[in-house]
Amino acid sequence: MALVIAAIFGYILAQVFIAVSRETDYADKLDHQRRMDRLQARFPDLALNISEERITPMFPELTQLWSWSWMQQLRMKEDGRCEYPGEDVWIYVGGRKTCPSSDGIVMCENFIAAFNKLIEYSHVNKLARSAILAFVDCDISDRLCQEWGITANVMVNFKSFGPCKSHEPVFDFDFRCPTSMQFFGLPLLDMPTRDLRRFPSAFEQLLSLTTVDGFIDMLEPINEMETETP
């Protein structure tokens, strides 16, 4: 029995190690690629020997959350709270290889394209509560997706809000504000729609989620995590 438990535990550790190694290797290559791009832009006549295949993130212009740093990237403290209220981030959790079989790759591709369109929309229009956009790629960061208990093709709304309270040491003026994360599976099957003749497109669903104040209050999230008022 002890050998079986040890074997299972060893297998789990091996899978975690493989997942972390794959993600860190990807992040390192992406960081190196971006440094080379900046160097080439600064010195266009410089001949750089870049033989590696280029990496293209799912959404190149957005912040990509990583399994080891997502809390810091969302400006969260170690206890899950934020120093300031008013943080509002819409996170698209996507993936192609990790697209749920129940959705089908076409469905996932439709929402990836729709989120790209939402990024373009946000360049000229403010999202509700001036939220910003970010993403997680489950093909790369499957450890983070497992930590959140979700699969690809999910929208996550992260917020920080008051009341905030001072946190020791007081002389550093360190405040802690509660946070919440709401997870909405895609497509939004119970989405209210004005046009009963057809179901809203992927982009229309994302637009309603992110631009219509109070819209998410009419939906039932598939999961929710919230820190209590300190």
Q: Is the pLDDT of residue 4 over 50?
A: no
Q: Are residues 16 and 128 in the same domain?
A: no
Dihedral sign for Cα 106, 108, 114, 116, please.
negative
pLDDT in tens, 166-202: 876 655 667 889 999 999 999 998 766 555 567 789 9
Q: Are residues 101 and 206 in the same domain?
A: yes
Last residue of a domain, one of 10, 35, 55: 55
pTM: 0.85
> In this predicted structure, what is the pLDDT of residue 128?
86
Residue 104 — pLDDT band, cuts 50, 70, 90? confident
Q: Are residues 218 and 158 in the same domain?
A: yes
> In this predicted structure, what is the pLDDT of residue 10?
45
Report the CATH number that the domain containing residue 88 is assigned in CATH: 3.40.30
Q: Are residues 45 and 128 in the same domain?
A: no
Q: Are residues 46 and 104 in the same domain?
A: no
What range does the domain containing 40 cover?
1-55
- What CA–CA distance (Å, rounded) separates 30 from 32? 5
Q: Are residues 26 and 134 in the same domain?
A: no
List, in sequence order, every residue forming a beta bridge with 136; answer none if it has no partner.
Answer: 93
What is the average pLDDT score of the chain? 84
Identity at 144, one-letter amino acid code: L
* C-beta separation of 191 from 219 below 8 A: yes
> In this predicted structure, what is the pLDDT of residue 14?
42
Q: Are residues 51 and 154 in the same domain?
A: no
Strand, coil or helix: 185: strand
- What CA–CA distance (Å, rounded) separates 134 from 224? 18
* C-beta separation of 150 from 136 below 8 A: no
Q: Are residues 41 and 77 in the same domain?
A: no
> In this predicted structure, what is the pLDDT of residue 50?
64
Q: Are residues 67 and 138 in the same domain?
A: yes
- What CA–CA distance (Å, rounded) separates 73 from 71? 5
Q: Are residues 68 and 38 in the same domain?
A: no
Residue 69 — pLDDT band, cuts 50, 70, 90? very high
| Region 38-42 average pLDDT | 80
Domain count, the chain: 2
List, in sequence order, every residue forming a beta bridge with 134; answer none if it has no partner.
Answer: 63, 91
Q: Are residues 158 and 219 in the same domain?
A: yes
Q: Are residues 130 and 207 in the same domain?
A: yes
